[in-house]
Amino acid sequence: MPSVRVGVIGVTGGVGRTLVKQLQAQAPWLASRGVNFEISSVANSKKMAFQVPSTDRLDWSSLLQQGEPLDTQSFLDSMKPRDSDQHCLVFDCSASEAVAQLYLGALHSGIHVITPNKRLTSAPLEYCKAVQQAQWHCPNGSPRPHGQAKRVLYEAAVGAGLPIITTLQDLLSSGDEVQSIQGILSGTLSHLFNSYGPGQSFARLVQDARAQGYTEPDPRDDLCGMDVARKVLTLARECGVAMELGDVQVESLIPADMPAEMSSEEFLTSFSQYDSVMQHRLEQAAAANRVLRYVGCVDIPNRTCSVALQEFPQDHPFAQLSGTDNIVSFHTRRYSPQPLTIRGPGAGLEVTAAGVFGDFLRLLRSLGYAV
Ligand SMILES: NC(=O)C1=CN([C@@H]2O[C@H](COP(=O)(O)OP(=O)(O)OC[C@H]3O[C@@H](n4cnc5c(N)ncnc54)[C@H](OP(=O)(O)O)[C@@H]3O)[C@@H](O)[C@H]2O)C=CC1
Ligand SMILES: N[C@@H](CC=O)C(=O)O
């Protein structure tokens, strides 16, 4: 019997397939620590499969082509623990709201959830709280027995592999008080503004970011600011601020007159017609010897969150980033006047999958494994 049964939603996507490769590469080490896992169910947006051969040379798309049409409830049912000693875990590597809506049922069925999907922590607050509660409480409201928690972990939803959520949770749980959080929280937008220069096509840079695996499945989610809005909302809620996604003030980088009814491919082609709009903003900033950066802010005392394109002087830490770097500063009672700052690549398949893997290790530790 494997000690951990694993299901992967989004196995044909960039993060899903990279995560599985990382898990397979580390399988001998995990086995040496007593963790034998089995990937028993996989799915993408159309199909699911329950007979997964145990080889590390699988073509997930071909396997799924021969699978059954996706029925997410049946997928979760297949993942239910067969007895109380079995640990079952679903990795949700989609960006689907519908999948995030299933987490509550998954926890109630005894299945742990690990995800880089932001659709849980930016869902309506009531649902988000219900899922958090379900980790520690049975469906009838009674506390789960000691050692029987069913966890939902989402470190990679903010900053990919950077330890942002766990750091914030540790600050708060150890009694610190967060006053504000400020940062560059999009790997895509960081990459764009770190590389963007006079005469360059902004739309071409977006296409490049997509090809590198940095963007959301639909890059408009990055450009309209909602990806960053979801991240700042996640951080604000960790601090106890009861806000909804609609309360975040968002500056979109998508021109208002662009039609919404387009495929992401059509959007990327049409977006180049608007290159002069961003070039103008760049010229304005450069005239004042400043750079453009897309920044998210959480103001705890005032209970506000905002995300916007701002200008910064050349010597500001936000102007010193490169590649997909994220940077986030926690201004707290203990970390004052100097904030606690975390910086590093904040998008990309390997680092994101590594962030999800980190949550897997945290879960295994909480289950008593020496990993
Ligand atoms: N890329 C990055 O750098 C980072 C990504 N993330 C998050 O990781 C997640 C995955 O991103 P990424 O791998 O880049 O995205 P991809 O578009 O490459 O992959 C998404 C996967 O999810 C599947 N999927 C979509 N909708 C559903 C659904 N309703 N039910 C089941 N499966 C579904 C897709 O299936 P199909 O192949 O059929 O379309 C695909 O396999 C997203 O939530 C993203 O926000 C977080 C941090 C960084
Ligand atoms: N599209 C996102 C991926 C990580 O969350 C980004 O660019 O930051």
Can you give the CATH number for the domain in which 179 is found? Answer: 3.30.360.10
Task: Tell me, using a 6 A CB cutoff, whether residue 116 lines ligand 1.
Answer: yes
Per-residue pLDDT, 83: 85
In this prediction, the residues of the chain whose per-residue pLDDT falls under 50 are: none
Q: Is residue 361 part of a domain?
A: yes
Total number of domains constituting the chain = 2
Q: Establish if 215 belongs to a structural domain.
A: yes
Looking at the fold, whether 182 and 296 belong to one and the same domain comes out as yes
Distance, in Å, from the CA atom of 121 to the CA atom of 100, rounded to the nearest integer, reads 9
**Ligand 1 within 6 A of CB of 48:** no
Judgement on whether residues 127 and 21 belong to the same structural domain of the protein:
yes
Mention every residue, 6+ apart, whose C-beta is less than 8 A from residue 135: 107, 144, 149, 150, 151, 152
Residue-wise pLDDT tens digits, 257-309: 999 899 999 999 999 999 999 999 999 999 999 999 999 999 999 999 999 99
Same domain, 207 and 319: yes
User: Do the annotations mark residue 324 as ligand-binding?
Assistant: no
Known binding residue 12? Answer is yes
Q: Is residue 187 annotated as involved in ligand binding?
A: no
Residue 371 lies in a domain: no
The pLDDT score that the predictor gives to residue 194 is 97
Residue ID of nearest Cα to ligand 1 atom 33: 45
Q: What would the DSSP string read from start to end of 313-342?
A: ETTSGGGG--TTEEEEEEEESSS-SSPEEE
Residue 58: per-residue pLDDT:
79
Between the CA of 368 and the centroid of ligand 2 the distance, in Å, is 32
Rounding to the nearest 10 degrees, give the CA dihedral for residues 40, 44, 45, 49.
-40
On whether ipTM exceeds 0.85, the answer is: yes
Ligand 1 centroid–CA 217 distance in Å is: 6
Nearest alpha carbon, ligand 1 atom 18? 13
| Residue 42 in contact with ligand 1 by CB distance below 6 A | no
Single pTM value for the model? 0.97
* Residues β-bridged to residue 293: 310
Q: Is 337 left (phi over 0), alpha (psi -120 to 50) or beta?
A: alpha
In a domain, 103, yes or no: yes
Residue nearest to atom 30 of ligand 1 (CA): 45
Catalytically active residues are 231
